[in-house]
Amino acid sequence: MKNSMYTFNIKKPGEEEQPWTDQDSKMVALTTLGFLGGLMVAPFLVWAAWNVSMPAIFGLPVIGYFQSLGLYLVAKLLLK
């Protein structure tokens, strides 16, 4: 790609762009599956822990999966 006044090249001279490999595709697939799996499993664990402990200890109502997803996301944002 030719440089224009709006772009610049951050590569070292002589360094060429590497082609996309099967290893890269596998890494992207595993990362995506891990993210989606974590997004499904982590709220389930929050839901289970909440519904087992909170109503018995504090008399709070039980929650659904989507409420636990929201609770998980809020906690993730606050603790990051």
Question: Which ranges of 1-80 does DSSP label H, i.e. alpha helix?
Answer: 22-58, 65-79
78 within domain boundaries: yes
Mean pLDDT of the chain: 88
Position 19 in a domain: no
Query: Is residue 9 one of the residues assigned to a domain?
Result: no
Residue 75 belongs to a domain: yes
CA angle 69, 45, 25 (to 5 degrees): 75
Question: Average of pLDDT values for 8-35?
Answer: 84
Query: Is the residue at 55 inside a domain?
Result: yes
Residue 5 lies in a domain: no
Mean predicted confidence (pLDDT) in 48-67 = 95
Q: Is residue 11 part of a domain?
A: no
Q: Into how many domains does the chain fold? A: 1
Establish if 70 belongs to a structural domain.
yes
Tokens 């590497």, located at residue: 18
What percentage of the chain carries pLDDT values higher than 70?
A: 92
Residue 20 predicted with pLDDT over 90: no
Mapping DSSP to helix (H, G, I), strand (E, B) and coil, where does residue 26 land? helix
pLDDT score at 66: 95
8 Å CB contact between 65 and 39: no
Q: 13: which DSSP letter?
A: T
Helices 22-58 and 65-79 meet at what angle, rounded to 10?
110
Host domain of residue 62: 40-80
